[in-house]
Amino acid sequence: MKKHTLIFTFFLFFHQSFSLDPNYEACVPKDCGDVRNITYPFFIEGEQDPSCGFPGFEVHCNESAMLRISGNDFVIKDIRYSNNYLRLQNAAILPNRTETCPLKMIRNLTLEPNRFRIDNASTMKLVFISNCSGNLTTDLEKYSIKSCEKSNKEVVMLDNDPNLRNVTDICGNGSEIVETPVELSGGVGRNLVVDGGNYRDVMERGFMLRWLATDCDVCLSSGGRCGFNRTKFGFRCFCPDRPHMVSCKPARKDYKPIIIGVTVGFAFIVTLAAAIFIIRRAHNHRKAIAYSRDLEGSSVYFGVSLFSYAELQDATQNFDSAQELGDGGFGTVYYGKLRDGREVAVKRLYEHNYKRVQQFMNEVEILTRLRHKNLVSLYGCTSRRSVELLLVYEYIANGTVADHLHGDRAKQSPLTWPNRMKIAVETASALAYLHASEIIHRDVKTNNILLDNNFCVKVADFGLSRLLPNDVTHVSTAPQGTPGYVDPEYHQCYQLTDKSDVYSFGVVLIELISSMPAIDISRSRDEISLAYMAINRIQRCALDELIDPVLGSDSETERMTRSVAELAFRCLQFDSETRPTMNEVLEFLKGIQGEGDSNVGELNVNAGKAQMPPASPETEDVVLLKEVDVVMASPLTVTAKWHSTGSGVTTPTTSG
């Protein structure tokens, strides 16, 4: 009986190994409407086998490619397989549905966290309120939209609109509220607070959605096609001649059957003989892995401590949502307390992100080689073989600069001007140190500048940082960063330099003197971008409209804020060559902070050159901005008319 079973198993293995796999042929990429080459993890329902994609990624193909998520139909406007992003448009606003009620077509969007994530940095929510029973006041009538049911009143507004609470109170408990995501960047929706009737224009642009699925690159590079095993619920690589779990080699169809049979038979016998040995060692191997993980806490990696996953799980109370400190593009940060009593911030990198190991290694390598009092310290990390990739930083208790300028902390106690100058100088010091170390931060913003209880700066989040070798002037890479802070020249030319950080820091300086966020869709059309607003105010010599009134109007503060605005103007120039270096920015800020002479911090213009006056005798060691070529001086410096170029103030968008 055993002999017959062995022979049957041999021929079954032989047949499965060299017969064409039907799944490979079924998973050929297909077009649907304007969307080309739809492939893994998506599949076209009715045209491709369900094994070609993951559950929940079914595309319905009629005139357009449609994706259904939590009861909503979305038109797929674009698929970016390189970075796992979709651009979706709610089908409720399609032209052939104009006779229907949009509120009956739109449902609240609930995402499964292991499948899809919304890019919170570039999206917000559009709120529809139907069955509004109250009478809106005259100033709130602008939010009303034309209802398809005469007996009902419908209202639409953004979820961050300060009037949302008033409208919901007036509409009463009998009203129905539905929310749908819309894109924040690019200026779309900026007039919504003025005219509620343009909600279709806002929704037509759609929004970006990131999907999470097992990486397909290894399978594709080996000649296979990616799919999903619905029996075992896991990733599957389909090969021309056989299915495989991860990758496959191209099928060799030119071998003669006898040679193939001998080769496979020999391989089968060797495999059968090795199976006994593998089974006997499996138990001991599992013990060895467990023992290795237990030792991680006492070992080092890149010169920092290695923590066990269990220790950090315990420190963060099993990553309780109540412990969350923030959420970024690569992971969520949790508050934790180690067994030795140290308070820490634990960054938990997102799962199912094929770039997360590279980002993990990048941040560990960069942080371990840096030592500066204004850079956040890395205590350690988990092993690359850990259940999850975790980074452990020192905990900074006083929140972010963004929170102190225009967040909850700003309402309690606004930052004083001396503290704002201290923040500017210490942040510039940290960035100058990075640039001297040939490192570009690439995501400078007030949300990445932390403050301790003495308002000392700790610059954080090096997940996007890039090393810049000595022998190159720039690095060519797809634009990444946060809307409102991205260097427009980098966004246009794909050339990242240390001057890209200078531009972002210029936006931070404007935030410090204005207390306004870098992007605010509730502002008027031409003022959504703070950088654009600042250049416009400086152009019109209307700096008083930009400076936060809470800073006071004494002559010394006015002189310093004027000087900081002038420096920010220089940093925000479109042409990176005309911007100062970060070291020059630092020295200029030190001059503003430490010198009472009203001349310090002013830029003089002479024959197209921007020059600094000599330092005062009290600060002879302070070296201010050196002579730098500029295209045109700021109106804060001279009274000549200044002409702005459109490209110099364009608000960039994030490229996934």
pLDDT digits (tens, 9 = 90+) for 454-482: 999 999 876 545 544 444 444 445 456 68
Structure tokens, 108: 């609240």
SS3 18: helix
445 is in an annotated binding site: no
pLDDT tens column, 128-180: 888 888 888 888 888 887 766 666 778 888 888 888 888 888 888 888 888 88
Give the residue carrying structure tokens 């942080």: 367
DSSP state of 627: P
pLDDT for res 439: 85
Q: Which stretches in the chain have pLDDT values below 50? A: 1-19, 187-194, 251, 284-285, 287-298, 352, 354, 464, 467-476, 478, 596-656
DSSP state of 305: E
Q: What is the C-alpha separation between 481 and 357, in angstroms, rounded?
A: 19
DSSP state of 626: P
Please name every residue paired with 440 in a beta bridge, in sequence order, or none if there are none: 466
Structure tokens, 408: 């909850």
SS3 355: coil
The most distant pair of C-alpha atoms in the chain lies apart, rounded to whole Å, by 102
pLDDT for res 571: 95
Structure tokens, 140: 């709130």
Please name every residue paired with 400 in a beta bridge, in sequence order, or none if there are none: 450
> In one letter, which amino acid is 53?
G
The H or E element that residue 556 is part of is helix 555-571
Q: Strands, E, within 573-639: which ranges?
A: 604-606, 609-611, 628-629
Q: What is the C-alpha separation between 11 and 18, in angstroms, rounded?
A: 11
Catalytic residue (choose from 73, 443, 501, 548): 443
Q: Give the domains, in start order, of the chain with CATH numbers.
A: 58-211 (no CATH), 297-394 (3.30.200.20), 401-639 (1.10.510.10)
Q: Is 493 exposed, middle or buried (0-12, 13-18, 19+ CB in 10 A)?
A: middle
Angstrom CA distances, 243 to 19, 22, 227, 331, 441, stand at 10, 9, 10, 34, 44
Closest CA to 492 of 503, 478, 502: 478
Structure tokens, 481: 């960063």
> In one letter, which amino acid is 437?
S
pLDDT for res 280: 65
Q: What is the C-alpha separation between 640 and 539, in angstroms, rounded?
A: 10
- Which letter, b or e, does each residue of 252-279 get, where b requires 16 or more Cβ atoms within 10 Å of its Cβ? eeeeeeeeeeeeeeeebeeeeeeeeeee
CB atoms within 10 A of CB 610: 21
pLDDT for res 471: 46
Closest CA to 348 of 390, 392, 387, 312: 390
Please name every residue paired with 179 in a beta bridge, in sequence order, or none if there are none: 127
Q: What is the C-alpha separation between 146 and 197, in angstroms, rounded?
A: 7
Q: Is 597 a catalytic residue?
A: no
Q: Are strands 58-61 and 43-44 parallel, antiparallel or unpaired?
A: parallel
pLDDT tens column, 584-621: 999 999 999 875 433 344 433 332 333 332 333 233 33
Angstrom CA distances, 173 to 101, 160, 261, stand at 21, 20, 75
User: ω before 635 within 30° of 0 (cis)?
Assistant: no
Half-sphere exposure of 57 (CA within 13 A, CB side): 27
- For residues 230 and 55, the answer to whether their CB atoms sit within 8 Å is yes
**Could you tell me which residues come within 8 angstroms of residue 111 by beta carbon, excluding any fewer than 6 positions away?**
69, 70, 117, 118
**Could you tell me which residues come within 8 angstroms of residue 356 by beta carbon, excluding any fewer than 6 positions away?**
330, 331, 349, 350, 389
Instruction: State pTM to two decimals.
Output: 0.48
- For residues 302 and 368, the answer to whether their CB atoms sit within 8 Å is yes
Give the residue carrying structure tokens 């920092």: 304
Length of the chain measured in residues: 656
User: 467-475: long-range contacts (C-beta < 8 A, 24 or more apart)?
Assistant: 467/366, 467/438, 467/439, 467/440, 468/438, 468/439, 468/440, 468/496, 468/497, 468/498, 469/438, 470/438, 473/497, 475/440
pLDDT for res 583: 95
pLDDT for res 329: 59
DSSP state of 470: T
3-state helix, strand, coil in the chain (%, to 5): 40, 20, 40
Q: What is the C-alpha separation between 24 and 227, in angstroms, rounded?
A: 9
C-alpha angle 539-544-547 in degrees, rounded to nearest 5: 105
Alpha-carbon Rg for the chain, nearest whole angstrom, is 30
